[in-house]
Amino acid sequence: MTVRTKLSAVTPRPVRRAVKLGIRAAYTLPTSRFRLLPSFLIIGAQRAGTTSLYRYLSKHPAVGPVVLTKGAHYFDTNYDKGLAWYRAHFPARWSGANTRRRFGVDRITGEGSPYYVFHPLAPFRIRETIPDVKLLLMLRDPVERAYSHYQHEKARGFEDLSFEEAIAREPERLAGERERIIADPTYLSFHHQHHSYLARGRYLEQLLVWRELFPPEQMMIIQTERFFTDPERGFAEVLAFLGLPPWRPPVFERYNARQYSSMRPDTRAWLQDYFRNLNEELEAYLGTNFGWGDRS
């Protein structure tokens, strides 16, 4: 564990956030016009391995990482802060002056905000701001993703229901929230962001919106399970997609993983049934067999 990781573990989240905001306001924001915009975005899905993928990419010698964080959440919850605020998250253009000489490519940067794929306005905002950006979308078995998402929100203090209660009440919690976000772009929906356990796993309805705005060759879809079964191969494919030279981190560590109790068997069976047809429709659309769930 690094010193930075140890300090992060013992420092309260509000304090860490205040420090980051203070540094950005004092140093990076005044120089924002000299900073890069992202060449890639990891748009989701939440709890599908996006933190690990971002950490691997941020260590690549031709990638300039986001300043002090993984994702800016600009195109979902911080859009009102403006483009200068967003640029302040990224490295200065001159910081990678030797990259082309050393590696034959220009230095690039990117971020990972996994709420982007699910937020109804994010794809349109991204298309308007950085239309040529390359998009990375990680898809995990939606049953496992939903339970991991729940455990994540519970650990952060954002959920006090049982998992079974939470998924039963999800339609009630999300009712009208998407429409309200669209009607009022400044509206931030707590339920839509934190309690969308089933909705975020309905991947095809989200993907179709992005495909209307971006050509298929601009988006790479990564199956989480296959990626982490052979991360060296999976990461090499990501680098090729981004036009980056071959490289690998010293170890493919799993970041932001949580330990928690197993899901109830009856709940798992219900979720597998809930997602079965949705998964089959996604597979038919992409021409890919993900192998998720019970196929009996």
pLDDT digits (tens, 9 = 90+) for 170-194: 999 999 999 999 999 999 999 999 9
**Residue at 242: amino acid letter:** L
Cα 225 to Cα 72: distance, rounded to the nearest angstrom:
26
List, as one string, the DSSP characters of 54-119: HHHHHTSTTEEPPSSSS---TTTT-GGG-HHHHHTTS-BGGGGTTHHHHHSS--EEEEE-TTTTT-
pLDDT of residue 165: 98
Report whether 75 contacts 119 (CB < 8 A). Answer: yes
Report whether 275 contacts 205 (CB < 8 A). Answer: no
pLDDT digits (tens, 9 = 90+) for 235-275: 999 999 999 999 999 999 999 888 899 999 999 999 999 99
pLDDT of residue 107: 92
Helix (H, G, I), strand (E, B) or coil at 159: coil
pLDDT of residue 217: 97
Q: Which of 74-78, 87-91, 128-132, 160-164 has the least mean pLDDT?
A: 87-91
Percent of the chain surpassing pLDDT 70? 89
Inform me whether the pLDDT recorded for 4 exceeds 50. no
| CATH architecture label of 3-286 | 3-Layer(aba) Sandwich (3.40)
**Exposed, middle or buried, 124 (CB in 10 Å: 0-12/13-18/19+)?**
middle
Inform me whether the pLDDT recorded for 9 exceeds 80. no
pLDDT of residue 2: 41
pTM of the model: 0.89
Strand ranges inside the chain, DSSP E: 40-44, 63-64, 108-112, 134-139, 219-223
**Residue at 279: amino acid letter:** N
- What confidence tier does 100 reach under pLDDT thresholds 50, 70, 90? confident
- What confidence tier does 135 reach under pLDDT thresholds 50, 70, 90? very high
Q: What is the mean pLDDT of the chain?
A: 89
- What tokens does 122 get? 């994010």
The sign of the dihedral angle between the CA atoms of 286, 288, 291, 294 is positive
| Range from 16-30, 97-111, 212-226 that averages highest in pLDDT | 212-226
Inform me whether the pLDDT recorded for 94 exceeds 50. yes
Inform me whether the pLDDT recorded for 74 exceeds 60. yes
Inform me whether the pLDDT recorded for 11 exceeds 60. no
Cα 276 to Cα 234: distance, rounded to the nearest angstrom:
26
pLDDT of residue 19: 40
pLDDT of residue 28: 58
C-alpha angle 182/14/34, rounded to 5°?
70
Domain boundaries, the chain: 3-286
- What confidence tier does 8 reach under pLDDT thresholds 50, 70, 90? very low
**Exposed, middle or buried, 251 (CB in 10 Å: 0-12/13-18/19+)?**
exposed
C-alpha angle 284/142/57, rounded to 5°?
95
β-strand pairing of 108-112 with 40-44: parallel
